[in-house]
Chains A and B, each alone.
Chain A
Amino acid sequence: MTNLLASALTPAHQRYLLEARQMQALSFSVHIPLVCFGISLPALVLFQEWRWLRTGDPVYREIARRWTRIMVALFAVGVITGTILSFEMGLLWPNFTGTFGGVFGLGFAIEGFSFFLEAIFIGIYVYGWDRLSPRAHMLSGVPIVITGVTGSLMVIAVNAWMNHPSGFRLRAGKVVDVHQWQALFGNDYLWHELVHMYLAGYMVSGFLLAGAYAFAYLRAYPDPPMRYVRAALAVPLTVAALATIAQGPVGDWAARDVASTQPIKLAALEGLGKTTSGAAEHVLGWYTHGHIEYGIPIPHLLSFLAFHNFDATVKGLDSVAAGERPPVNVVRVAFQTMVGIGTLLGLLALVYLFVRLRRKRLPESVWFYRALVLAGPLAVVALIAGWVTTEVGRQPWVVYHVMRTNEAVTGAGGIPVGYTVLALAYVAVGAGVWWLLRRLAGRPLELEGV
């Protein structure tokens, strides 16, 4: 497809396009880890509450209540950082929203309702502790779990549409023949993104939560951990480990979809300069002058991974004009970071599963818990690296092969000012969240006689 663009609003010259993109990236990077908790924490809290209802053991109630406080705090921060993202649809990319709002907007409108239900039932769940009957209270948490899925489904449907647009035609800068449902949900590209992100959500919050209790384990060492710590550690650790195991094969699926739908993105994340048959996979190294320097080549592997055929032809960056290639090293380093961290987390997961299956208990090695403390932050890095891979890999397009990012950007001034203010505000938010989580963790346990 060639560039059919003409848009609803006139594209503007924007000196600070890069800053606008960075501001958007910053806003996403702050929001996405919170989304992970939105996706997975309600289910983990409900599991603990369910254990309480089943066993009557107050330790589970205590855990569920403490995680509820974390959930509500992180949800509040997610609400505001998500609001900033919705403002930025017009603040930074008015031409994108102005031209295609009629195509993708429905996804966000439905997401708005999903978000509504989430906010309503979080209000009921959080403030209903000890006020509603245990059964009614637990039931009020179920919609939060469901809306966590539907909300992310909607947002990812829009992202998948940007990467693989369909369901409309452009005529004189206006979209016509809009088939929104097909554009958003009839898109093959949606499903791998959704599952990949969903598992990432469990990995990030699972490892972060488990890491916090791993820290408590190390503090108590060599004394055995309290029952409370064991019960609070086993659940997120197991979820994160299993999600990590499943993430590998899902990542393979995602890569094959990228290979067939966005070959130039694949070429950028592999640093493949020339179209090659039987292409090698390069681990590490640096892309320069059309090839990878200092990388470790594994012959034919890229062709196999992308097309299940050791001799398949993989399109290189040279198949499009220089102006249509994404910044290769940014994408490639991000991709390798994600895969590298994913592999390390996978090893940690295997160690845990091995000990669990063989010895029928939690690992006891100090080193395991030290690694677990690191796993949470690493999972966040991998998460953000993954989004950099797919979003920078989409460049220079905002709507793939339809609208370029520089045609979408605002003509308003002041982007450096806005970027700076937002960055400072988010530093304050980050510091605030850190302070709050430490405060919540330091609250004395309300357990009696255990």
Chain B
Amino acid sequence: MSSPLLSALPMVFVLTGVVLYAVLAGADLGAGFWQLFSGRGERAERIREHAHHSMAPVWEANHVWLIFVLTVFWTAYPAAFGSIVSTLSVPFFIAGIGIVFRGITYALRAGAANPRESQAIDTVFSISSVITPFALGTIVGAIVTEQVPLGNAAGGELSSWLGATSVLVGVLAIATSAYLAAVYLAADAARLGEADLERAFRVRALWMGALAGALALAGLIVLRSDAHHLYHQLVSGEALPALIVSALAGLATLALVYTRRFEVARFSAALAVAAVVAGWAIGQWPTLLPHLTVREAAAPHDTLVAVVVAVLGGGAIVFPSLGLLFGLALKGHLDEPKAVVAPTPVRADAGGRRQALLGRLAVACLIVGFGLLNVADARWAHAVGVAAWLGFVVSAFFALVPALLPSEPDATEGSQEHMLGQ
């Protein structure tokens, strides 16, 4: 077995991913929730538009946290992954279908020609935005209440995720998502100077924050009978600090939203959610599944080292990139288009001579490629041969294409009625 630290590190990554998925993608799911309860009329349309536009640049990146969680989990704790997903196949499948409809309706919105169409699309989008967090929440509930034994679909197909805790965590996931979304959308509306939207989402954030807090308290009561050990850890054990941080951050967020300091509220709201996940992890540690600790579930030593290296290396590239994306989005650089800046044209290609040269290069690549990839048998020959074939494609492309492209507007243009698809 690997060292306790090494076998625990990937789980720390997984839980970090869960937190980031909950606070980032959760808010995108919550945006769908508010579209469902936007009401009717022009104001409702504005609410739906705002919810759509706020999440548009970031939702795909936020969604990837789920993929991150899955891939690190199945690499580092493969047997536990197989057990969890096979036993909880129904909620996983429901979440999957929810994600499919969310994604397709997000894409379809670009084609909507009028408010009626976009409303129809938004309705499907928001229903799936409610189903998805519920299903994912029941999965968490099932793991919390130790309903997933080690084995291939060894737990109850329905009973494992339809217990009181599971259902409550599912509802809590919907409420938390909606709460986070309301806070973020209020902040975005304030940035855009949309006073009425800001008011609308401020009120929603306050109500939903209170509701999510009440649900979390109710969850404690249910946990007391469903997951006694975790309950004790949370109210009197090592997880208590996390519970306190969560409660304080939740209250602080309400105060911040009330006083309209939304940008700070973004972070305190996220902290409240993160603390709940941390409390769960601390309370349940070191058990992953019944009779299986995190350390026992871990993959061999070399696998864990590779995962840690990959995550740290990947994180070193991804986090600055995420910083760039959120920096641009939150500072409003992706909000309103500016006037098109026409580039200063660099005078076009020197003409035929360059093309002829590229053409000769392409022919040379073709001959070398055929000789080394298709006649020779040595490995090194294949490597060079493949490179030559790819070189052929690239050089031939640049030899052939420029002369075909119209360089100047020509007289044959006529009206624009022949455009594609009309």
Q: Is A323 an interface residue (CB 8 A)?
A: no
Cβ of A90 and Cβ of B86 under 8 Å apart? yes
A339 CB to nearest chain B CB (Å): 16
CA distance A115 to B82 in the complex (A): 23
A117 touching B343 by the CB < 8 A rule?
no
Q: At the interface, yes or no: B419 with Cβ under 8 Å from chain A?
A: yes
Q: Which residues from chain B contact A411 at a C-beta distance below 8 Å?
A: 86, 152-154
CB distance from B72 to the nearest CB of A (A): 6
* B192 contacts chain A at the CB level, 8 A cutoff: no
Partner of A246, one of B153, B157, B379, B392: B392
B403 contacts across to A, CB distance below 8 A: 360
Known A54-B346, A97-B78, A253-B382; contact A9-B314, beta-carbon cutoff 8 A: no
Q: Does B42 contact A (CB under 8 A)?
A: no
Option from A113, A216, A235 in Cβ contact (under 8 Å) with B419: A216
C-alpha gap A418/B56 in the complex (Å):
30
- Would you call B393 an interface residue if the criterion is a C-beta within 8 Å of the partner chain's C-beta atoms? yes
CB neighbours (8 Å) of A414 from chain B are: 89-90, 157
CB pair A242–B396 under 8 Å, yes or no, is yes
9-residue interface stretch from A263-271, A327-335, A421-429: A421-429
Option from A54, A76, A234, A440 in Cβ contact (under 8 Å) with B111: A440
Are the CB atoms of A112 and B407 closer together than 8 Å?
Answer: no
Q: Which residue of B lies closest to A66 (CB)?
A: B420
B300 near A9 with CB under 8 A, answer no
Known: A91-B93, A105-B75, A435-B111. A444 touches B67 (CB 8 A): no
Interface stretch of the complex, out of B28-36, B217-225, B370-378: B370-378
Give the residues in chain A near B293, CB-CB below 8 Å.
none
Check: B248 CB closer than 8 A to any chain A CB: no
Knowing A97-B78, A425-B101 are in contact, say whether A120-B56 is a contact too (CB < 8 A): no
Is A4 engaged at the interface, CB distance under 8 Å to the other chain? no
Q: How many residues of B contact A (CB 8 A)?
A: 121
Cβ 8 A contact of B104, one of A99, A128, A432: A432
Per-residue contact bits, chain B 387-411, to A (CB 8 Å; 1 contact, 0 not): 0011011001100110111111110
Contact partners of A80 in chain B: CB under 8 A: 99-100, 102-104
Min CB distance A31 to B, Å, is: 11
- Cβ contact of B57, chosen from A126, A413, A429, cutoff 8 A: A126
- When the two chains form their complex, are residues A109 and B419 in contact, meaning their CB atoms are under 8 A apart? no
Residues of A within 8 A of B343 (CB): 52-54, 56, 134
Decide: A229 near B311, CB < 8 A? Known: A223-B414, A249-B389: no
Contact at B97–A421, with CB atoms within 8 Å? yes
Residue in A51, A89, A143, A422 whose beta carbon sits within 8 Å of that of B74 in the complex: A89
Are the CB atoms of A195 and B79 closer together than 8 Å? no
Task: Report A222-253 residues with CB < 8 Å from chain B CB.
Answer: 223-232, 234-235, 238-239, 242-243, 245-246, 249-250, 252-253
Give B269 Cβ to nearest chain A Cβ, in Å: 22
The interface of chain B, by Cβ under 8 A from chain A, is 56-58, 60-61, 63-64, 66-68, 70-72, 74-79, 81-87, 89-90, 92-93, 95-97, 99-108, 110-111, 113, 150-154, 157, 299-300, 302-303, 306-307, 310-311, 314-315, 317-318, 321-322, 324-325, 328-329, 333-346, 348, 369-370, 373-375, 377, 379, 382-383, 385-386, 389-390, 392-393, 396-397, 400-401, 403-410, 412-414, 416, 418-422
| Beyond known contacts A9-B86, A226-B414, A234-B404: 6 more, CB 8 A cutoff | A11-B152, A87-B92, A101-B79, A105-B76, A120-B324, A412-B157
